[in-house]
Structure 1
Amino acid sequence: MDYIHLNEMEFYGYHGVFPEETKLGQRFRVTVSLAVDLKKAGDTDALEHTVHYGEVYNTCKSIVEGEPKKLLEAVAENLAARILSAHPLVKGIRIHLIKPDPPIPGHYKSVAVEITRGEFI
């Protein structure tokens, strides 16, 4: 299997359980990995045989900067479902969604969820 990676895209959204998260918002980082057979694209140099990662970026931006969700898990599921339905060449997807500055006490770099859907080896 071949992969396309969109690494550490940054967006500003209003997801979270606490009122200050939905009012003030915060940064989110997203890495999306797409399992796609890239052989035909490599042989033909034709965009229609691959996934346009600009479109994937725009989908991620619209979801992360869009309707607030309480849970990172819900945002990640929405990302995976929308990308899989919009791009039939994608056989599997991995979403790594990071909240760098959650409003919880303690010392840590970030919190994150990672989900994998479809065929992903």
Structure 2
Amino acid sequence: MDKIYLNGMEFYAYHGVYEEENKLGQHFTVDLVLEADLKEAALEDNLEKSVNYADAYAIVKDVVEGNTYDLVETIAENISLQVLNHFAIVDQVKVKVVKPNPPIPGHYQSVAIEMTRRRAE
């Protein structure tokens, strides 16, 4: 299966289980891997047979910035569902949502959720 990558998309949003996260907001980074058969698009040099990166970015931006969720898991699930609903060519989507500065004690670079969803047969 061929893959399309959208890496390091950055957003500012108001997700989290703690009240201060919903008020102050924080940065989120999203990586997206779309699996599809891109042979026809490549042979015909035709965007209509592939995925428009701008459309995929817009979907992610809308989910991340247009809503407020307690869980990063919910963000990833909703991105997956929206991508599969919007792009018929995509058979599988992998979403990684990174929360660089969650309000928990300790020293670490970030926390993240990664999930993979496949189109139902």
**One fold, TM greater than 0.5?**
yes
Superposed, 1:21-100 pairs within 5 Å as: 21-100=21-100
The equivalent of 2:107 in structure 1 is 107
TM-score of the superposed pair, with normalisation by structure 1: 0.96
Matched pairs, number: 119
Superposed, 1:12-27 pairs within 5 Å as: 12-27=12-27
The residue type equivalent to 2:73 in the other structure is E
- Which stretches of structure 1, 4 residues or longer, exceed 4 Å deviation after superposition? none
The residue type equivalent to 1:96 in the other structure is K
Which segments of 5 or more consecutive residues in structure 2 lack a partner in the other structure? none
Q: Distance in 1 between matches of 2:53 and 2:89?
A: 12
Root mean square deviation of aligned Cα: 0.7
The equivalent of 2:3 in structure 1 is 3
- After superposition, give the CA deviation of every residue in 1:49-108 in whole Å (9 maximum; x if it has no partner): 101111000010111111100000001000000010010000000001000000111000
TM-score of the superposed pair, with normalisation by structure 2: 0.96
Q: Distance in 1 between matches of 2:97 and 2:15?
A: 12
- After superposition, give the CA deviation of every residue in 1:10-40 in whole Å (9 maximum; x if it has no partner): 0001000000100000000000000011101
Identity %: 49
The residue type equivalent to 2:94 in the other structure is R
Which segments of 5 or more consecutive residues in structure 1 lack a partner in the other structure? none
Q: Distance in 1 between matches of 2:34 and 2:13?
A: 23
Q: Distance in 2 between matches of 1:53 and 1:33?
A: 11
